[in-house]
Amino acid sequence: MPTRPAAPPEWATNGGTRTVPTLGRQGTGWVSGEPIDPLQCNDLWGEAFDWIGYLADIVPASNVVVAETFRVVDPAGPTTRGALTWTTIGGNAGLVVGGNAGGLPGIFFDNTTGFVKILQSTGPVVMLEVQPTGMVGPKAIADAVYGARFQYDYTDLLTLDHDFSPSGGGYTPIVVNPFVGAGLPASLVALGTSHLLFNPNAVPQNASFRRPLVIPYDPASTGPALFPKLVSITATYVGATNDFKVRVIKILKSTGAETVLCTLDAATPTFTFAGSGEITDPQLKHYVVELYSAALGAGLPTADALRTVTVVADHGVLNPII
C-alpha cells in the first residue's frame, strides 16, 4: 500500500480563484486545441482536492475501524467521544460502543445471540437487554380498535405466584351439605404454621373452605387468546395422609355449574395444566381455590395439615391499553 501523505493536497483556496463551469461545459468538457479557462480549471482541481481532504478526515490513519475513536457531534451540546471495540463478554463475541477508551459503560451487540445489552461493566453487569423478538417487557402491538396496545408476546411466560395458603386469610367457609341436620360449618384451625379442617358436628360431614382465584385481565380483550392462563398449582403438606384436598374449580357464571380442574393431596401435591396452561375466561366464568375433606369424621380434624398453596398464572397477555 502506498505511503499515506502527511496532509491532503489543496488548490485554489483563495477567494475569486474559481469559476464553476456551466452545465453544458460540464457535459462536454474541453475539446482538443480549445483554450482552457484558468478559473474553471482551478474549480476542477480545487473541487477534487476538497473531496480528498474531506475523505482524509473521516478515514482513520490506521485504516482499521476496530477500536478507533469516533466523534458524535450534538448540535445542542459539546462534542463527545466514545470507543468502538470488538471483544468477548459473557463468553460471547460482539461489538461494544462505549463512552471511554475502555468501551464501558456502553452498548454491547452480541454476535452470538443477537441480543443488545446496555452494560455497566464487563462482569457483565447488564442494566437492560433487548432480544431479537423485542425488549424483555411489553411491546407495542398494532390494534384495529385502539391503534396500539402494550403486551407481552403470547409465547413469553410472565408468571406470577399467587399465595392461597390458609394464613393468607380471606377464605369463606362453605358447608357442602347445608340442609337440616348438617350442623355447624367446618372450621379452619391453625396448627403453628400449618392448618387443618375440623368438623365440629356429631355426624361425618363434607367440609370445605373456598377463596376466589382473582387474576387481573384486560376487560377490552375480545377472545380467549388474550386471557391469562393457569399454569400450575402446588400445595405443601405436613404429613402424608390424603384426606385433605386442594382443588381448583371453574364456575360458570350463568348457571353456577362447577367443574373441578384439578385435585391435590399429599400423594400428588403438584398439578401442571395441559399444553401451555388453562386459558381462563373471566367474562363467562370465575374460579376458586378450595380446601376440601370428604366425609370428615364427627368432631375430628383432618389427619393431614396444609402449609402453603401456590397458584402460578401466566400474565403474558395482560394488555393495558394506551
User: Within 10 Å of residue 293's Cβ, how many Cβ atoms?
Assistant: 25
Mean pLDDT of 216-241: 78
Determine contact, residues 69/85, Cβ cutoff 8 Å.
no
The total number of residues shown for the chain amounts to: 322
The x, y and z cell numbers of residue 181, run together, are 341436620
pLDDT class for 218, splitting at 50, 70, 90? low
pLDDT range class, residue 319, cuts 50, 70, 90: very low
* Cα–Cα dist 156/160, whole Å: 13
Which grid coordinates are listed for 175?
A: 358447608
Give the C-alpha separation, 260 to 251, whole Å. 9
Read off the amino acid at residue 20. V
Phi then psi for 78, rounded to 5 degrees? -75, 165
Is pLDDT of 261 > 60? yes
Considering only CA atoms, which of 217, 246, 114 is closest in space to residue 158? 217
pLDDT confidence band for 225 (50 / 70 / 90): low
Instruction: List residues bridging with 272 in a β-sheet.
Output: 232
Location of each CATH 2.60.120 domain in the chain:
159-314
Phi-psi region of 183 (alpha: psi -120 to 50; beta: other; left: phi over 0): left
Judged against a pLDDT cut of 60, whether residue 240 lies above it is answered with yes
Question: Could you give the count of Cα atoms lying within 13 Å of 217 in the half-sphere of its Cβ?
Answer: 24
Write out the CATH class of domain 159-314.
mainly beta
The pLDDT confidence band at residue 259, using thresholds 50, 70 and 90, is: very high
Query: Scanning the structure block, which residue is given the C-alpha cell 402424608?
Result: 240
Place 308 in a pLDDT band, splitting at 50, 70 and 90.
confident
**Cα 272–chain centre separation:** 23
C-alpha pair distances (Å), 238 with each of 246, 305, 307? 14, 5, 7
The residue-averaged pLDDT of 200-210 equals 85
For 26-83, the pLDDT digits (tens) are 888 888 888 888 888 888 888 888 888 877 776 656 555 444 444 544 555 544 455 6
Residue carrying C-alpha cell 377472545: 223
Q: What is the pLDDT of residues 150-194, one digit of tens each?
A: 555 444 445 555 565 555 554 454 444 444 455 677 788 888 788
Q: How many CB atoms lie within 10 A of CB 233?
A: 26
**Of 90 and 288, the one with more pLDDT:** 288
Higher pLDDT, 213 or 271: 271
End-to-end CA distance of the chain: give it in Å, rounded.
59
